[in-house]
Amino acid sequence: MLTGAGASADAGIPTFRDEGGLWRTHRAEDLATPQGFAANPDAVWEWYRERRAVAARAQPHPGQRAIALLQRHFFAAEVLVATTNEDDLLDRAGVAKVLHLHGRLAETACAAGCGWSAPDPDDSLSRRPCPACGAPVRPASVWFNEPLPVAEVEALTAFLPDGCLLIGSSCLVAPVSNVPAEMSLSGLPVVQINPDVTPFSQFAAASLRGTAKDILPVLVDHLTSPTVRDQRRRLT
């Protein structure tokens, strides 16, 4: 399962590109690149502290809780959940081992790349130099043109799925946006949950048009029903 910003929209966390999305009023170059941070670290930190506060106040919605139920119904190792969302709503919904491909909003890291990073729930670490090397610190997010975290990518590539649910992603930001297309091209069914059409829609095995909050509980109810369980048993 791969989730994008739309998967947290129903919890009140703005997406990036929709109406009301963050990139409609802010410039990604200024706030989500190493160059933007070097030019104005205070502006980046102000934006991140606001986003951290919004995420901390938000609660997982029924669709996110349904993902945790799906994992519990099968084995957690059978339902891998990867996300580009920086918030921790899936973790708080009870989803096991979420792969955070774009980092975590509430973590602070060394801006000089010494390797130090730590959870920073009250923003206190964000106001001091790196405790390991004394350099300035930055949000631990993966910014544009930065590599994805190695451990997460290794876990993702080691997993051999038999299909994928793609939830709330515009499929516009590489390299993660390439994942569903690569799966489709290799013959795996990728089902998209999104109220809107995306560039991936033409390749989707099915497109369920609606919000994560409305569609996921119904879908998980179906996937965990005795009928579907029997069908799965006969196929395996």
CA atoms within 13 A on the CB side of 224: 17
Peptide bond into 175 cis (omega under 30): yes
How does DSSP classify residue 226?
H
Asked if 172 is part of the footprint of ligand NAD (rule: CB under 6 A), the reply reads yes
Percent of residues in the chain assigned helix, strand, coil, to nearest 5: 40, 10, 45
Please check whether residue 111 is in contact with residue 138, taking contact to mean a CB–CB distance below 8 angstroms. Answer: yes
Cα–Cα distance measured from residue 11 to residue 57, given in angstroms and rounded to the nearest whole number: 10
**Identified binder of ligand NAD from the candidate list 88, 100, 104, 168, rule CB under 6 A:** 168
Choosing from 73, 100, 102, 222, which is the catalytic residue?
102
How does DSSP classify residue 185?
H
Active site residue 61: no
Residue nearer to ligand NAD on the CB measure, 80 or 180: 180
Residue nearer to ligand NAD on the CB measure, 15 or 207: 15
154: enclosing H helix or E strand: helix 150-158
Asked if 46 is part of the footprint of ligand NAD (rule: CB under 6 A), the reply reads no
Per CB under 6 A, contacts with ligand NAD among 67-126 are: 84, 102
Residue nearer to ligand NAD on the CB measure, 6 or 227: 6
Residue nearer to ligand NAD on the CB measure, 18 or 30: 18
Residues that bind ligand NAD (CB under 6 A): 4-6, 9-10, 15-18, 21, 23, 28, 32, 84, 102, 141-144, 168-170, 172-173, 193-196, 198, 211-212
